C-alpha cells in the first residue's frame, strides 16, 4: 500500500490541509492518508484547542473522504519529552513494514528540514513530499533530501490566518464548532470593539468562567457569554436602531445604552452561530438582569460589574461570588441601587421588580 502521512498541530485543521491531502492522494495515487496531530511541536506555542477538539475539527473538514485515518501515534506517546519525527517514523515503519510511506509537509517546514533531528535518516526511511506555500521559497533541501515537490496552486490558508480573524480559511462547520466550544473567540471578537473594551471583554469572560467553575456551572458557557456580551456595544447608531426596530420592537423605548444586551445576543447568533439558549440568555441578561436569572446569568452579570479593569477594588465581592453566586448577585443589585440613588441616576423600571424579587423577597433558589 502507498500511505501518506501528514503531521501538524492542526489548531485548527484548515482548508489548506484538506487541499494538500486531497492533491497528494490523487497525484501520488495513495491508498491511505494518516493525519497525525502532534502532541507538542517543539517550534510552536501551545495549542488552543485540546486533542479531542482538534480531531473533531479534522473529521468535520474531511467528512466524505474515505481514505484518511487519524493516527494517534504522537498523541498517545507516553513520554512527556518532545516528540521528534524520526521516532514517529520508526514506529510507523514497524506498523507498516512492507508499505511505501510518503511524508508530507509544506514549504515552510521543508525549507527548514535540514534543522530537523536525523534529517538524513528520515529521508532514507520515507519518501518526503513538499508543497509550495505562500511566503516560502524552494531551497536546496528539496534536492538534498530527495523531496517530491508537488506543483500546485499555492493558497495562503493557515492556522495563523484564522487566529488573525480570517474566517474563510476553515470549513464553516469548523468555525461553528470552534465558536460553540469557545475556541479562537478572542481573535474574532477583537474586531468588534476598541482595545479598551476588548480588554474588558476578555477579563469579564475569564472572571465569569471562574465564578461558574466555583459554583458548579458550565465554565465554557460562561466564558462564551462573557466574550460575546458586549459585541454590539460599539455598533453604528443607525444600524442599531434599524435592528432594534426589526428584531426587538418591544424594547425600542428602552434607554439606548441597554440596547446592546439584545443586539449582542443577535450578533452571537448571527456571526458566532451560538444556539445554546442558556448562553444567549446570559448575554441578554447581562446589563439589566431579569426576573428569571439562572446561575450562569448571574456569573456573567457579576463578572461584568466586578471586572477588576473597571478600576475599583472589587476583591471582596469577587470572593463572595466565588463562594456563592446568588449572594454575590444580590450584593451587586444592592450596590447598583445604592450607587444610582447616590448619583441621582435614573433606574429603569424593570430593575425594581428584579431588586424586589432577589433582595427583598424570599429568593433562595
Out of 111, 123, 141, 159, the residue judged to bind ligand ADP by CB under 6 A: 159
User: How far apart are the two ends of the chain, measured CA to CA in Å?
Assistant: 63
Decide: 123 and 103 in contact? Cβ < 8 Å.
no
Cell of 190: 477583537
- Give the shortest CB-133-to-ligand ADP separation in angstroms: 4
109 binds ligand ADP (CB under 6 A): yes
DSSP alpha helix (H) spans, 248-364: 259-270, 277-284, 295-306, 315-323, 325-342, 349-355
Among 3, 5, 10, 207, binds ligand ADP (CB under 6 A): 10
Residue 180: CB minimum distance to ligand ADP, A: 21
Least Å from the CB of residue 111 to ligand ADP: 10
| Residue span binding ligand ADP (CB under 6 A) among the ranges 16-24, 53-61, 83-91, 348-356 | 16-24
Shortest reach from residue 41's CB to ligand ADP, in Å: 7
Orientation of helix 315-323 relative to helix 295-306, angle to 10°: 170
Q: Does 133 bind ligand ADP (CB under 6 A)?
A: yes
Q: How far does Cα 288 stand from its chain's mean position?
A: 28
* Residue where the block lists cell 517546514: 109
User: Rule CB under 6 A: is residue 157 a binding residue for ligand ADP?
Assistant: yes
Among 3, 4, 5, 8, binds ligand ADP (CB under 6 A): 8
Check residue 123 for interaction with ligand ADP (CB under 6 A). Answer: no
Of 105, 208, 325, 333, the one binding ligand ADP by CB under 6 A: 105
Beta carbons of 357 and 293 less than 8 angstroms apart = no
Q: Which is nearer to ligand ADP, 126 or 274 (CB)?
A: 126
**CB of 105 or CB of 204, closer to ligand ADP:** 105
Tell me the C-alpha to C-alpha distance, in Å, between residue 30 and each of 2, 102, 103, 147, 156: 5, 9, 12, 16, 25
Q: Angle at CA 333, nearest 5°, toward 327 and 339?
A: 130
Nearer to ligand ADP, 160 or 194 (CB): 160
Of the pair 187, 288, the CB lying nearest ligand ADP is at: 187
Q: Does 12 bind ligand ADP (CB under 6 A)?
A: no
Q: Report residue 149 as a C-alpha cell.
A: 515537490
User: What CA–CA distance (Å, rounded) separates 339 from 282?
Assistant: 23
Asked if 113 interacts with ligand ADP (CB under 6 A), we say: no
Minimum distance of ligand ADP from residue 311's CB (angstroms): 38
Q: How many residues bind ligand ADP (CB under 6 A)?
A: 18
CA dihedral 268, 273, 277, 283 (to 10 degrees): -10
**Minimum distance of ligand ADP from residue 271's CB (angstroms):** 23
Site string for ligand ADP, 183-222 (x = CB under 6 A): ----------------------------------------
Q: Give the orientation angle of helix 325-342 with respect to helix 195-214, to 10 degrees.
A: 140
- CA 150 – CA 169 distance, rounded (Å): 21
Of the ranges 10-18, 121-129, 338-346, 355-363, which one interacts with ligand ADP (CB under 6 A)?
A: 10-18
Residue 88 in contact with ligand ADP, rule: CB under 6 A: no
295 binding ligand ADP? (CB under 6 A): no
- Report 17-76 residues binding ligand ADP (CB under 6 A): 17, 20
137 backbone φψ class: left, alpha, beta (φ>0; ψ -120 to 50): beta
Question: Does position 233 bind ligand ADP by CB under 6 A?
Answer: no
C-alpha of 336 from chain center:
33
Cell of 270: 448571527
Write down the least CB distance from residue 154 to ligand ADP, Å. Answer: 7
8 Å CB contact between 357 and 363:
yes
Buried b (16+ CB within 10 A) or exposed e, 265-290: bbbbeebbebebebbbbbbbbbbbbb
Binding site for ligand ADP (CB under 6 A): 6, 8-10, 16-17, 20, 105-106, 108-109, 131, 133, 155, 157-160
Amino acid at each position: 500500500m502507498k500511505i501518506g502521512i501528514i503531521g501538524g498541530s492542526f489548531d485548527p485543521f484548515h482548508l489548506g490541509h484538506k487541499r494538500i491531502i486531497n492533491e497528494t492522494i490523487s497525484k501520488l495515487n495513495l491508498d491511505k492518508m494518516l493525519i497525525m496531530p502532534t502532541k507538542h511541536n517543539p517550534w510552536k506555542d501551545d495549542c488552543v484547542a485540546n486533542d479531542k477538539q482538534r480531531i473533531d475539527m479534522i473529521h468535520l473538514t474531511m467528512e466524505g473522504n474515505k481514505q484518511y485515518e487519524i493516527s494517534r501515534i504522537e498523541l498517545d506517546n507516553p513520554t512527556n519529552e518532545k516528540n521528534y519525527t524520526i521516532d514517529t517514523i520508526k514506529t510507523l515503519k514497524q506498523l507498516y513494514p512492507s508499505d511505501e510511506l510518503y511524508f508530507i509537509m509544506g514549504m515552510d517546514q521543508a525549507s527548514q528540514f535540514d534543522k530537523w533531528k536525523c534529517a538524513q535518516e528520515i529521508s532514507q526511511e520515507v519518501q518526503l513530499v513538499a508543497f509550495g506555500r505562500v511566503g516560502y521559497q524552494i531551497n536546496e533541501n528539496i534536492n538534498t533530501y530527495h523531496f517530491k515537490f508537488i506543483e500546485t496552486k499555492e493558497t495562503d490558508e493557515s492556522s495563523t490566518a484564522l487566529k488573525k480573524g480570517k474566517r474563510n480559511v476553515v470549513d464553516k462547520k469548523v468555525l461553528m464548532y470552534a465558536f460553540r466550544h469557545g475556541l479562537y473567540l478572542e481573535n474574532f471578537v477583537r474586531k468588534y470593539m476598541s482595545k479598551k473594551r476588548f480588554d474588558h471583554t476578555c477579563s469579564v469572560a475569564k472572571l465569569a468562567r471562574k465564578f461558574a467553575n466555583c459554583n458548579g456551572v458550565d465554565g465554557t458557557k460562561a466564558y462564551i457569554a462573557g466574550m460575546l456580551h458586549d459585541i454590539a456595544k460599539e455598533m453604528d447608531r443607525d444600524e442599531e436602531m434599524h435592528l432594534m426596530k426589526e428584531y426587538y420592537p418591544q424594547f425600542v423605548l428602552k434607554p439606548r445604552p441597554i440596547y446592546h444586551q439584545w443586539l449582542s445576543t443577535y450578533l452571537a447568533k448571527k456571526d458566532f452561530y451560538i444556539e445554546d439558549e442558556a448562553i444567549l440568555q446570559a448575554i441578554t441578561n447581562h446589563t439589566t438582569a431579569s426576573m428569571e436569572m439562572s446561575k450562569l446569568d448571574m456569573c456573567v452579570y457579576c463578572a461584568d460589574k466586578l471586572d477588576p479593569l473597571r478600576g475599583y477594588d472589587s476583591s471582596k465581592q469577587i470572593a463572595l461570588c466565588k463562594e456563592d453566586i446568588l449572594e454575590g448577585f444580590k450584593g451587586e443589585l444592592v450596590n447598583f441601587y445604592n450607587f444610582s440613588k447616590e448619583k441621582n441616576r435614573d433606574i429603569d423600571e424593570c430593575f425594581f421588580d428584579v431588586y424586589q424579587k432577589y433582595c427583598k423577597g424570599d429568593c433562595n433558589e
